[in-house]
Amino acid sequence: MRPEIEIYLLAMKPREVQNDQRMVELLGQDLDWQFFNLAAIAHKICPILSGELKRFPEYLDKTSMVREESSEIQRKAMMLTARLFRLQDALKAAGIQFVFVKGTAVAHLLYGTAVKQRSFCDIDFFISPKDAVRVREILANQGFLPNQMWCRCDHPDEFFTSDLFLRLAHEKEFVSSNGSFAVDLHWGAGAWFATGDQLMKRTIELNVNGHRLRTLEPNLHLVYLCAHAAKHDWSTLIWISDIAHALASKNIFDWRKVARISRALGLFKTVQLSMLLANQLLGAAIPQPFLPMSANLSSIASEIINRYDRVLPPLICWSQLPFWKRIWHVYDDKGQVMEQILSDLFKPTFNDWVRIKLPEPLYWMYGLIRPLSKVYFTGVNFLTGASQQKREHQ
């Protein structure tokens, strides 16, 4: 493992098990400081890393990007949390059912603070699909408009309130007028997890700085975090940190319930693999209900860990074949895997509609266009990735 990544992992471990002598040895090596700073930002661990590096002041000048990013994250997190509670009040006043996930809720639940250690850059929440149009109006009143990447069409207002949009997408990003804040609105989660209606059946209210925040009950929230990490192929270290903090927490989770929920959702192996990564990278203890682990999961964990050395996240992937192979082994229900693969191959998305705007009677043709476009963009990604690797070796 390259020393930059090992430094991250040492900083992410609980203080009582950290090895300061090893940290000094690693910091004294001939490090690639550009990689160190950029990868820390990409892995979203700057607040954690910056706090630990204060104990080694002789290296602060070489990690200025990490410290600057950490300060910006903490400032933004405070403002995002304030905007979250304003939005929650508006949703309650309109009688909208909702549940917030990740972000402030995870920071408070796992790290004991909403801003100091857990970085987050947007507000994520789930609603029922039937409320999507109404919530769009509420967000507009709160100063959030569709992200420009969602607006590359002739009539965005009409399109975003149509049934066609709900067929093409299961989430939608909005940004504040100055572009500083983002809200990610979900009404479904694709084939990999659950819909907003299913998630809203198991919610609690957390007391965060004197405010009541509606979020998922902890056991389900942890399964959601593991599923989210799996959706993105465990590419970012902060998600591993979240799992490690959960495993080290006291009196928050009922591990038998976590196991039952994950089995019911077909995600038991997904949760196992997430815990195994937290164990191997950060020394977190795996609860008994998730033992033993199969040798196959250990092999997949090694594949994921080895990738952290090679590239900055988001990882360059020439095709989705390696990802499909992994989820085949870590999704309990093979029907879920086939559903996701077929969805990736054939279900049209907003991007497909932007490229080729077919009228409703010809919507079925996306079943032909979608796989052809996947082949085209896989080829482009392959050539781009091969070119980048060639430059790195020169």
In the chain, what are the domain boundaries?
A: 217-311
d(CA 370, CA 232): 21
Which whole-number Å values give the CA distances from 83 to 123, 161, 209, 337, in the listed order?
Answer: 9, 24, 14, 37
Give the contacts of 156 (CB within 8 A, at least 6 positions apart): 146, 150
CB count within 10 Å of CB 257 equals: 16
Task: Judge whether 354 and 366 are in contact, CB under 8 Å.
Answer: no
- Cα dihedral 115/244/330/345 (nearest 10): 20
Which amino acid is it at 358? Answer: L
333 secondary structure, DSSP code: -
| CA atoms within 13 A of residue 274's CA, in its CB half-sphere | 34
The dihedral through the CA atoms of 299, 314, 237, 256 has a sign that is: negative
Contact present, 212 and 92 (Cβ < 8 Å): no
Residue-wise pLDDT tens digits, 75-115: 888 888 889 999 999 999 999 999 999 989 998 899 876 45
Instruction: Find tokens 């009228």 and name the residue.
Output: 359
pLDDT value at residue 352:
81
Low-confidence ranges of the chain (pLDDT < 70): 16, 113-117, 148-161, 189-194, 311-320, 377-394
Alpha carbons within 13 A on the beta-carbon side of 160 = 25
Say what the pLDDT of residue 386 is.
47
Record the tokens describing residue 223, joined without a space: 């399964």
Q: 0.75 exceeded by the pTM?
A: yes
Q: Cα dist. 201→146, 214, 216 in Å?
A: 28, 12, 9
Peptide bond before residue 287 is cis, with ω within 30 degrees of 0: no
